[in-house]
Structure 1
């Protein structure tokens, strides 16, 4: 199932770039900050509008979108506070749900917000 999902997302999805902080990097003595190490996935995802009936004003807000990516091609598990570029716009990940079949991750469904 994971392969079928990946093939369909590759066929019907739009280009995305998903950025995920994986740890802290080098300390910059000038800015006095440590920059995060960021893993990136550039590939495809399927973006969908959130239905009006799903909006609750707190965890799901008007303007949020759902982004589905294939779990077998993303080299990390996305998490809240990751960022993603979809259709040229930067979105923040607010929630992630992983759909599995027989113990194998098939897709990651991300709730994204500007």
Structure 2
């Protein structure tokens, strides 16, 4: 059973992202057909998100590069959990997810997805 506190935090995060964020997409690339080959099938999922630049002190040149974005994605209504390798479209640019944190404190409720996006 979900913890009521995390359900309220999820609703609050969703409300703030809808109020101050923007519409975007999370695109998952499917596997390539092992027999036929070809391009992977891209499946886009609509999302509400807030892209934010990392501060200069967070950019270390190894894990976080200049140009990387920290993207907050509302978990409410999103059909998938964003993972490394997915593409996020925000501010008219495509970012490949390098790292992510679902903020899942009780093992049931994803409060908000915070991902590190790198220009694709």
TM-score by length of 1: 0.83
1:20 to 22, 28, 31: 28
Partners of 2:50 and 2:34 in 1: CA distance:
35
Instruction: List, as ranges, runs of 4+ consecutive aligned residues in structure 1 with deviation greater than 3 Å.
Output: 22-27, 34-39
Task: Return the alpha-carbon distance in structure 2 between the equivalents of residues 67 and 76 of structure 1.
Answer: 16
| Distance of 2:30 and 2:14 partners within structure 1 | 24
Match of 1:109 among 88, 92, 114: 114
Q: Give the match for residue 9 of structure 1.
A: 17
Distance 1:61 1:82 in 2: 18
Matched, 1:69 2:73: yes
What are the Cα deviations for residues 50-101 of structure 1, in whole angstroms up to 9, with x where unaligned?
0111111111111111000111221111111111111111111111111134
Number of residues of Structure 1 aligned to a counterpart in Structure 2: 110
Kindly indicate whether the alpha-carbon contact (under 8 Å) linking 2:47 and 2:74 is maintained by their aligned counterparts in 1: no
Query: Which structure shows the bigger proportion of residues in strand conformation?
Result: 1
**RMSD across aligned positions (CA):** 2.0
Q: Which runs of 5+ in 2 are unaligned?
A: 1-8
CA–CA separation in structure 2 for the residues paired with 1:21 and 1:73: 20
Gapped runs of 5+ residues in structure 1? none
